[in-house]
């Protein structure tokens, strides 16, 4: 999870606020799965343990002056040494699934296709997976959650070299399929390619910290092609015997027009979503070129797919069997009147939290960029379903409570704001399923526990579990038990709906 305030235009005051909706506790299908999500660098720690190699984040988080609030993930939540405790915690929450990421440099310390495998790293993930299964929790594995082995950045610039990166990523992925795929049945190749590209290579606020107007599009191209290559590797070499699924996880806000009566703002809202989501979604899920709006504005900065790359995307588009979506908030989009700047990556759009009538898009959470926008979340689900027609898994969703970073443990665990956020977003999923006909299969809350939140360090808490970073004591928050009980009730209600529909259909 990551979002930056950089480039966002903020109104000086909120003239009006959003209506405070109540939670309806609406039904969900009985086979709807829920769980919690984490990422390796954010929770594992164990930076030098058992032969792990360095990643770009191990360097970036130690730069001076600091880019990460003077903090780093060397120990993080110490999950590497507390895995049994954390899996037992997950089980106590009644989750169906657990989404985690594999640290590439823990299993191949140098990362390359001819480099040595670290069997102790393999053993750690085998142990994690086996522990999950012992509690009947399904493991969902992300191959790349931002922690590129440092050596690959040094050798050839990492994702800036498409051919080299693709070859190394394919070898790493196939190693994971071969060692873990007998038990892992849902694979995710990359987490949030937009964030990797823009915030790692344009604004430079994430590793590797580059500032460029061209690199984001080269990196995005490498991710798309490497994803498709690995999907083909999985489908042709592993899927038949392992019976799993594979896709990618993309993030995205929904954009409302700043002035709903303005044709320019309506077009800006659509264009912003194409720059954000269509950039990756159209080639991966449709086997298509980049959106025309991007071609028109980005020009020569946007790479062209070669003939062989187009053929690869065409072959693999249908093999992406689900749409993984990370979503937190939404915004208003206002068309800029001037021509786009030479380094613009956003579609020549201003992003705002307040519209032309002075109405805020939603109540503010514990961080300035995240507002409660469940109505727009439902609209986004419909937009994605209409465009890509894949079953949707919400692979990250959550929020920090206002003032949570200064609360005592007792105050932090009584996280009523987060509970309401979860309830409203689950209601939006229900409405999208039953009223809009969207196929939504699962919901993975971000995050299992408070952790290292990238450039924000430990200053933002998204966890459903409180972590004391001096003692590493985990304390469940009320939201964890709310999710356990709410999902149980909602699925029971969904089961009754199914029974009524069955009687109506067959009798």
Listed in sequence order, the residues at least 6 apart from 196 whose beta carbon sits closer than 8 Å to its beta carbon are 146, 159, 190, 206, 219, 223
CA angle 114, 115, 118 (to 5 degrees): 135
Listed in sequence order, the residues at least 6 apart from 455 whose beta carbon sits closer than 8 Å to its beta carbon are 2, 4, 67, 68, 69, 205, 206
Specify the pairing of strand 97-101 against strand 33-37. parallel
Residue tagged active-site, from 44, 153, 164, 192 = 192
Nearest to 404 by CA among 371, 446, 455, 366: 366
Q: Catalytic: 309?
A: no
Q: Catalytic: 233?
A: no
φ, ψ of residue 76 in degrees (nearest 5): 50, -125
DSSP state of 158: G
Residue 319's CB is within 10 A of a number of other CB atoms, namely 16
Residue tagged active-site, from 151, 233, 351, 396 = 396
Q: What stretch of H or E contains 431?
A: helix 416-434
Q: Which residue has the tokens 């190394």?
A: 168
Listed in sequence order, the residues at least 6 apart from 287 whose beta carbon sits closer than 8 Å to its beta carbon are 310, 313, 314, 315, 316, 317
CA angle 165, 208, 394 (to 5 degrees): 75
Answer left, alpha or beta for residue 361, where phi above 0 means left and psi between -120 and 50 means alpha: alpha
Distance between CA 393 and CA 184 in Å, rounded?
16
C-alpha to C-alpha distances, 453 to 106, 199, 374, nearest whole angstrom = 20, 14, 23
Beta strands in 391-473 (DSSP E): 392-396, 440-446, 465-467
DSSP state of 255: E
Residue pair 138/180 in contact (Cβ under 8 Å)? The answer is no
Residue pair 361/256 in contact (Cβ under 8 Å)? The answer is yes
Distance between CA 86 and CA 89 in Å, rounded?
5
DSSP state of 161: S
Active site residues: 192, 396
């Amino acid at each position: 999870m990551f979002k930056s305030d950089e480039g966002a235009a903020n109104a000086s005051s909120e003239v009006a606020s959003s209506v405070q909706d109540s939670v309806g506790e609406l039904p969900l299908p009985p086979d709807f799965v829920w769980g919690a999500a984490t990422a390796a660098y954010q929770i594992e720690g164990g930076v030098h343990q058992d032969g792990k190699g360095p990643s770009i984040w191990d360097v970036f988080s130690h730069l001076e002056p600091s880019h990460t609030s003077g903090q780093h993930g060397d120990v993080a939540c110490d999950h590497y040494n507390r895995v049994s405790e954390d899996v037992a915690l997950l089980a106590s929450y009644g989750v169906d699934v657990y989404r985690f990421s594999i640290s590439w440099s823990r299993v191949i310390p140098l990362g390359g296709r001819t480099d040595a495998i670290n069997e102790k790293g393999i053993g750690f993930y085998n142990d994690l997976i086996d522990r999950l299964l012992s509690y009947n929790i399904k493991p969902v594995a992300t191959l790349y959650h931002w922690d590129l082995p440092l050596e690959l950045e040094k050798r050839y610039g990492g994702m800036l070299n498409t051919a080299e990166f693709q070859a190394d990523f394919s070898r790493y992925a196939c190693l994971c399929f071969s060692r873990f795929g007998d038990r892992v049945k849902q694979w995710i190749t990359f987490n949030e390619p937009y964030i990797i590209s823009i915030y790692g290579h344009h604004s430079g606020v994430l590793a590797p910290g580059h500032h460029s107007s061209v690199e984001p599009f080269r990196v995005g191209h490498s991710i798309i092609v490497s994803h498709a290559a690995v999907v083909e590797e999985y489908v042709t070499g592993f899927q038949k015997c392992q019976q799993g699924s594979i896709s990618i996880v993309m993030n995205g806000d929904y954009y409302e027009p700043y002035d709903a009566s303005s044709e320019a703002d309506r077009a800006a809202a659509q264009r912003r979503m194409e720059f954000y989501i269509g950039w990756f979604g159209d080639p991966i899920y449709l086997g298509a070129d980049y959106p025309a709006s991007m071609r028109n504005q980005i020009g020569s900065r946007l790479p062209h797919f070669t003939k062989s790359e187009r053929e690869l995307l065409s072959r693999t588009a249908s093999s992406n069997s689900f749409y993984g979506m990370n979503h937190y908030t939404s915004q208003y989009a206002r068309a800029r009147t001037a021509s786009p700047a030479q380094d613009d990556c956003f579609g020549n759009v201003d992003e705002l939290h307040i519209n032309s009538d002075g109405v805020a898009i939603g109540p503010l959470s514990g961080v300035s960029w995240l507002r409660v926008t469940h109505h727009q979340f439902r609209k986004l689900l419909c937009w994605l379903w209409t465009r890509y027609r894949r079953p949707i898994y919400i692979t990250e969703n959550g929020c920090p409570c206002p003032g949570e970073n200064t609360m005592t443990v007792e105050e932090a665990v009584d996280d009523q704001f987060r509970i309401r956020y979860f309830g409203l977003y689950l209601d939006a999923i229900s409405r999208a399923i039953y009223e809009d006909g969207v196929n939504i299969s699962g919901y993975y809350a971000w995050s299992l526990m408070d952790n290292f939140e990238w450039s924000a360090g430990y200053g933002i808490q998204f966890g459903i579990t409180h972590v004391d970073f001096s003692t590493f004591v985990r304390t469940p928050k009320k939201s964890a038990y709310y999710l356990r009980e709410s999902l149980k009730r909602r699925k029971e209600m969904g089961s009754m709906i199914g029974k009524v529909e069955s009687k109506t259909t067959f009798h």
